[in-house]
Amino acid sequence: MRISDNTQMGLLSIGLVAAALLACGGKIDQKKLDKLITKMFENQLELEIKDIDCPKNVKVEEGAEFECDVSVKPKGTVPVVVEITDSSGSVEVKTKYDVLTPKSVQKEVVGGLAAKNITAKVNCGKKIRLAKPDTTFKCKATDNTGMSKDVTISINDDGDVSWKLD
């Protein structure tokens, strides 16, 4: 995933493989799964979780997949894919899309502007974004004189991220 000046954008894709999450009755232990997802988000994305919504009573069946929605602070929901990797309930958990945190986007745009001899603060709000193909969103760049311009962040079909000063 690249920004317009061919440097890496601050995209975060996370994944984790876990030991058996088998509960009684041949189903995934939801509490263990919630702990795993929480640890993954806090350690790898540095995001605090508000809520995790997964299907209930998922039967352990090797190769089966299901999705959970993870609500995070400050704002946003990240879909994760859980794949059951064996009959004992071991799972692999990964984000469905790369995650763009406001901090990572702002840092990349500020660095890109600095490379063009432009000093500015960038504000992308508090909402996390997902690197879904064919999406755009706006940030605001403000220079030392107080002049502001929009910055358009675009994700193309391949998931590559670019930005431009409007």
Contact 131, 99 (CB under 8 A): yes
State the chain's mean pLDDT as an integer: 84
Among the candidates 46, 63, 98, a domain finishes at: 98
Q: Are residues 40 and 94 in the same domain?
A: yes
pTM comes to 0.76
pLDDT digits (tens, 9 = 90+) for 14-65: 665 666 666 667 888 899 999 999 988 888 888 899 999 999 989 999 999 9
pLDDT value at position 20?
Answer: 66
Does the pLDDT at position 147 exceed 70? yes
pLDDT digits (tens, 9 = 90+) for 104-137: 889 999 999 999 898 999 999 988 888 888 999 9
Cβ neighbours, 10 Å, residue 14: 18
154 in any annotated domain: yes
Q: Are residues 92 and 40 in the same domain?
A: yes
